[in-house]
Amino acid sequence: MFDSILILRDLVNRLTAKLFPSVLVVGAGSPNADWVTRVLSENGIRTDWTDRIKWPNPRLIRRFDVVYGIYLQSCSRYIVVAKLLGRKTVLHFVGSDAYWFGSERSLLRRTYWRIVLRLTDVVLYVSPHLESFTGRAGIVVAFPIAVEEFSKIGEEKKSPERDVLYYCPSGSANERIYRLDWIIDYAQKHPDEKITVLGNSAHPATHEISLPNVEVIPYVDYAQMPTLYKRHKRLIRMTIEDGLPRMIHEALLAGLQVTYNEKEIAEIPEERRPAVFASTIDAILEKLCNR
């Protein structure tokens, strides 16, 4: 009798997994990995998240049907181990991946990353042009954002106290990638504009900019970003990564004028809406897992 119950339970688990595959999101930092996990979970996809990316946990991976990595550099080891364990894999490739992929001088590391890309079952790109960096066919899917929350800020927006919000974390590589030189030059040429330079929690902005119209904010918690947008008229993003930062569409929804790499932004991809993003991923999982 007991053996029959175990066999029945195993059968139910197998059928449930086939109908509703479970997803392990792998990625460090906020807001992409944790936010993707929340969006998928709230839209009916069984999802969990790990930010312990350095050493893959085989026991953890075995609990899931699909490993979904955010950023090539941070999830590559999990992709390799997942494939060895017979799990399906998804990788979300972003602008910083393209930058490091293109600038990496080590032939061994470039070869390793190419192997990971070939091993991955489905590669997602945040914007179409990124596919040209890898030569690997994929699907264009932008990360989701809290559309309703940022739209509400846009509806409430009144007279902002500052002019420009600019993103540039500290560190020599970041200062080059996010064009610190550009915003300093802009601030010098526009002394009447109040400019805010912002970093992130992993790389706070600590730039010493001795211009009276520039304020440097190390970082703010993601939950405070709507309030920060509300204080500004414009968001300017300059980068040599050329991906698709979530900030440009969050700011647009929050009522800011947005300039990204010298182009005015006016449209928002449908996948930015959480329900649409989750539906897109669900369709990918359905095909990937033969549901």
Average pLDDT, the chain: 89
Q: Which two tokens stand for residue 153?
A: 């800020």
Check residue 68 and give its pLDDT.
97
Place of tokens 């550099």: 73
Q: Identify the band that residue 17 occupies on the pLDDT scale cut at 50, 70 and 90.
A: very low
Check residue 249 and give its pLDDT.
95
Q: In Å, how far are 14, 116, 206 from 130, measured between CA atoms?
A: 37, 16, 30
The beta-strand segments (E) located in 51-170 are: 66-70, 88-93, 122-125, 139-140, 162-167
Kind and range of the H or E element at 177?
Answer: helix 172-177
Structural domains of the chain sorted by starting position, each given as residue range(s) with its CATH number in brackets: 2-144+273-288 (3.40.50.2000), 147-268 (3.40.50.2000)
Instruction: Give Dmax over CA atoms of the chain in angstroms.
Output: 82
Q: Which two tokens stand for residue 23?
A: 């997803």
Check residue 291 and give its pLDDT.
60
Q: What does the pLDDT average to over 206-211?
A: 96
Degrees, nearest 5: CA angle 206-207-208 = 115
Counting residues of the chain whose pLDDT is more than 70, the rounded percentage is: 92
Q: Is the peptide bond before 269 cis (omega within 30 degrees of 0)?
A: no
pLDDT digits (tens, 9 = 90+) for 126-184: 988 888 888 899 999 999 999 988 988 877 767 899 999 999 999 998 999 999 999 99
pLDDT digits (tens, 9 = 90+) for 180-204: 999 999 999 999 999 999 999 889 9
